[in-house]
């Protein structure tokens, strides 16, 4: 059996060394990954299907019109 699979006799303890208790005193530098991002919310524009616009649309009629147009185009290509 390898020693990697065995537990340590004395568990490792962090934060006991000089300056390790308060991590903010270690360095004043910070990563760009720690910065806040996506801090602004985008709102829907008036043309982006607002809920009241969706309620007023007749999806069945629009679908049937698109299907008729596609069928016309398909039949027009036939000899």
Q: Which residues contact 21 (CB under 8 A, 6 or more apart)?
A: 15
Supply 54's token pair.
Answer: 């969706």
The residue among 4, 31, 5, 26 whose CA lies nearest residue 14 is 26
**Looking at the domain assignment, is residue 22 inside a domain?**
no
Residue 69 lies in a domain: yes
SS3 66: helix
Whole-angstrom distance, CA of residue 9 vs CA of residue 53: 68
* DSSP structure class, residue 74: H
Write down the pLDDT at residue 14: 61
**Is 21 within a domain?**
no
Q: Which two tokens stand for residue 46?
A: 């008036």
pLDDT in tens, 26-55: 677 878 888 898 899 988 787 777 777 778
Q: Please tell me the total count of domains within the chain.
A: 1
Within-domain flag for 72 = yes
Work out the mean pLDDT of the chain and round it to a whole number: 78
Q: Is residue 59 part of a domain?
A: yes
Domain of residue 55: give its range: 42-79
pLDDT at position 32 is 87
Question: Which pTM does this prediction carry?
Answer: 0.36
Give a yes or no: residue 27 inside a domain.
Answer: no
Higher pLDDT, 33 or 15: 33
């Amino acid at each position: 059996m390898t020693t990697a699979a065995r537990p340590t006799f004395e568990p490792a303890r962090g934060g006991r060394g000089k300056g390790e208790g308060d991590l903010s005193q270690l360095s004043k530098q910070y990563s760009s990954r720690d910065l806040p991002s996506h801090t602004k919310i985008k709102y829907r524009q008036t043309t982006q299907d607002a809920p009241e616009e969706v309620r007023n649309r007749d999806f069945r009629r629009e679908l049937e019109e698109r299907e008729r147009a596609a069928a016309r185009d398909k039949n027009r290509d036939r000899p």
